[in-house]
Amino acid sequence: MKRFWLTLLAAGILVLGGCSRRGENSPPSQVSGAAPSAEGVIRTLYIGRGEDFQQVPHTFEGEPTPDALIAAIAEETGWNLALAEPVTSGKGGMSVLFSKESALFTGLPDPQKEEYAVDGPQDLAFHILDSIQRTVQWNTINPQLGDPANLDVYFAVGGNEPLSWLEWGIELPLEEPYPGSAALQRVE
């Protein structure tokens, strides 16, 4: 009987020991070169357009939401990135609804920050959309587990209106993910 209890105790210790090591072989939960720090969580903001992005580390108090990532881009660049409502996510990807007060509609900040200066309203719009798309993709999908570019990001105006710039011949349909500025830019 004593041997039975010793065997049972040893089995219990092995089971508990295995449970405490369960996370050792799992992939890191950090994405985009993120690193924990005593001050908070460091994530990378991608600011630019096309394939030309500055990678800017930013510290968050906790795990950042897409809204917090967008607010950090606004803080870093000086661009007004006011949203009409919080970013939503689901099976189809993420939806970002801009407020009419955002720089997409009000134009360039005055003065512009030198390191994020753009050449005009169209360049600003493409910088805003590409920066948000890349930042939420690379801070949501761990590149070791999947391709961040596979996360579809949809942009619209509050009230679920499509983003459009008639003067540039550009409209982003509500049902189609943002294809990136390279796919939209017209050659003149």
- Write down the domain spans for the chain: 31-184
- Cross-sheet strand order for the sheet of 153-157: 88-90, 93-98, 153-157, 161-165, 170-172
Question: Cα-Cα-Cα-Cα dihedral of 80, 175, 90, 156, to 10°?
Answer: 10
Instruction: Identify the burial level of 132 via C-beta atoms within 10 angstroms of its C-beta, where 0-12 means exposed, 13-18 middle and 19 or more buried.
Output: buried
**pLDDT for res 122:** 93
> Within a 13 Å sphere around the CA of 23, how many CA atoms are in the beta-carbon half?
3
SS3 18: helix
Q: Choose between 2 and 136: higher pLDDT.
A: 136
Mode of pairing for the β-strands spanning 35-37 and 40-49:
antiparallel
The 10 Å Cβ neighbour count of residue 156 is: 19
- Among residues 85, 78, 84, which one has the least CA distance to residue 47? 78
SS3 73: helix
pTM equals 0.78
- Note the pLDDT tens digit of each residue in 132-173: 999 999 999 989 999 999 999 999 999 889 999 988 889 999
- Structural element, H or E, at residue 128: helix 121-138
- Report how far residue 73's alpha carbon sits from residue 93's, in angstroms, rounded to the nearest whole number: 20
Beta-bridge partner residues of 41: 36, 60
> What would the DSSP string read from start to end of 75-124?
HHH-----BSS--EEETTEEEEEE-TTSHHHH---SSPPGGG--SSHHHH
- Note the pLDDT tens digit of each residue in 82-115: 999 999 998 889 999 999 999 999 999 989 999 9
Percent of the chain exceeding pLDDT 70 equals 78
